[in-house]
Amino acid sequence: DTAVSQTPKYLVTQMGNDKSIKCEQNLGHDTMYWYKQDSKKFLKIMFSYNNKELIINETVPNRFSPKSPDKAHLNLHINSLELGDSAVYFCASSLGLEGNQPQHFGDGTRLSIL
């Protein structure tokens, strides 16, 4: 059983389009995250959700809107895609907000903007 699953695995689309990435975890965790990994492999937190409530938004453009319908799901919707949005997006989850909680990652969604 996959603990954290993301769909789609690959997403190729044109500039200006709107797209969504879905994430589901079956670990019973309370906290979920979105990270962006750029072309140099650098990982940076985008959003953190705890019990369906947004905790942080690390200066992400408001074209990115996360939605958490329940604790097991955290989806990412992106409006008006730009070339700079090309990256790998990782969903992760942890038991809770405490810093000592290991995070479990999905396999990533590779987004390519043409």
Partner 1 sequence: AQSVTQPDIHITVSEGASLELRCNYSYGATPYLFWYVQSPGQGLQLLLKYFSGDTLVQGIKGFEAEFKRSQSSFNLRKPSVHWSDAAEYFCAVGAGGGADGLTFGKGTHLIIQP
Stretch that binds partner 1, among 18-26, 60-68, 79-87, 97-105 (CB under 8 A): 97-105
Q: Which is nearer to partner 1, 14 or 98 (CB)?
A: 98
What's the sign of the alpha-carbon dihedral 80, 82, 84, 87?
Answer: positive
Exactly one of 15, 44, 79, 80 binds partner 1 (CB under 8 A); that residue is: 44
Interface with partner 1, residue 15, by CB under 8 A = no
Q: Which is nearer to partner 1, 65 or 101 (CB)?
A: 101
Non-local (6+) Cβ contacts of 57 within 8 A are: 46, 47
3-state secondary structure of 100: coil
Exactly one of 41, 62, 70, 83 binds partner 1 (CB under 8 A); that residue is: 41
| Structural contact between residues 110 and 64, judged by C-beta atoms closer than 8 angstroms | no
Non-local (6+) Cβ contacts of 77 within 8 A are: 18, 19, 20, 64, 65, 66, 67
Interface residues toward partner 1, by CB under 8 A: 4, 31, 33, 35, 40-45, 48, 50, 55-56, 90, 92, 94, 96-108
